Copies of this chain bind each other. A is one copy, B any other.
Amino acid sequence: MTTNATTTETEIALLGGTGEIGRALALRLGRDSDYALTIGSRDERKASEAAEDYRSRLRDRGVEPHLGAAENVDAAADADVVVLSIPPYYADETVETIAPGLDDETILVSPAVGMQRDEDGLHYHPPSAGSVIEMIADVAPDDVPVVGAFTNLSGERLADLDVEIETDTLLLGDDEDAKETVATIADSIRGLRPLDVGPLTNATEVEALTPLLINLARYNDDMENVCVTFH
């Protein structure tokens, strides 16, 4: 067993960590960084099962991750960075539920995007706040910084640790320190490059990229789980 090169005191909770993007982040961060990770779920037993599965997969690769499990509220209360890897329609409810346990040292991160399907493809369907990340910022306590990140990643591609990735992730946020912390976390994943794209008001165009990637996959046989690089 080896431990990872990155050492940090930062604790990261992956709420909805049993889902696709949560699993992808748990496995990649578990392999590539030394962050203390907690898999959160509304159902503590599900969180524990997922954490055990991820630990087992990482141990098979010779890595002993710092990977625990808890119910969402407890996971968030103990964390420095809380990633809301949950569907957008649960986002505001979840933030309200965890809010009492958050303080101004906690950073909320969301990769969520509102989408709607029609016969031709997926379309961006923003909430009335303008974007999912701005909706989350509206619901979050005023002193808790909110950062958009991991928004356009293919959870399926990233969850397969045999795949070498070489892709970008776009960061949005009004709090520069919080954005910098999240950039450091993203950068700890091998092959993932964080790129600042400004404050939360620039989120619409970032969130709209996810349905575009899914449409590309639909209309091009060889483009499953599309990633994107800016250059």
Taking Cβ atoms with an 8 Å cutoff, the residues of A that contact B are: 118, 120-121, 123-124, 166-167, 170, 195-199, 201-202, 204-206, 208-209, 211-213, 215-216, 218-220, 223, 226-231
B211 with A198: CB separation less than 8 A: no
Whether B216 pairs with A197 at a CB distance below 8 angstroms is: yes
Task: Please measure, in the bound complex, the distance between the C-alpha atom of A205 and the C-alpha atom of B209, giving whole angstroms.
Answer: 6
Q: How far is the CA of A172 from the CA of B124 in the complex (A)?
A: 16
Contact between B121 and A204 (Cβ–Cβ < 8 Å)?
no
How many chain copies? 2
- Given known pairs A198-B215, A230-B226, the reply for A205 and B120 (CB within 8 Å) is no
Residues of B with C-beta under 8 A to A167: 231
Task: Tell me whether chain A's interface is mostly helix, strand or loop, or mixed.
Answer: mixed
Choose one: B196, B206, B215, B227; the contact of A231 (CB below 8 Å): B227
Kindly list chain B residues whose C-beta atoms are within 8 Å of the C-beta of A212. 170, 197, 202, 205-206, 208-209
- Chain B residues positioned under 8 Å from A123 (CB to CB): 201-202, 204-205
Contact B230 A213 (CB under 8 A): yes
A216 CB contacts on chain B under 8 angstroms: 170, 195, 197, 230
6 A/B residue pairs, CB under 8 Å, sorted by A? A121-B197, A123-B204, A195-B220, A202-B212, A223-B230, A229-B229
**Are A227 and B228 within 8 A (Cβ)?**
no
Instruction: For the complex, give the distance between the alpha carbons of A196 and B195 in Å.
Output: 26
Query: Do A124 and B205 have beta carbons less than 8 Å apart?
Result: yes
Contact B226 A197 (CB under 8 A): no
Q: Are A218 and B198 in contact (CB under 8 A)?
A: yes
How many angstroms between the C-alpha atoms of A170 and B118 in the bound complex?
Answer: 20
A205, A218, A219, A228 — which one has the most chain B CB atoms within 10 A of its CB? Answer: A205
User: In the complex, how many angstroms separate the beta carbon of A202 from the nearest chain B beta carbon?
Assistant: 5
Residues on B with beta carbons closer than 8 Å to the beta carbon of A209: 205, 208-209, 212
A120 and B215 contacting across the interface, CB-CB below 8 Å:
no
Min C-beta distance of A212 to chain B, whole Å: 4
Contact of B205 with A219 in the complex, beta carbons under 8 Å: no
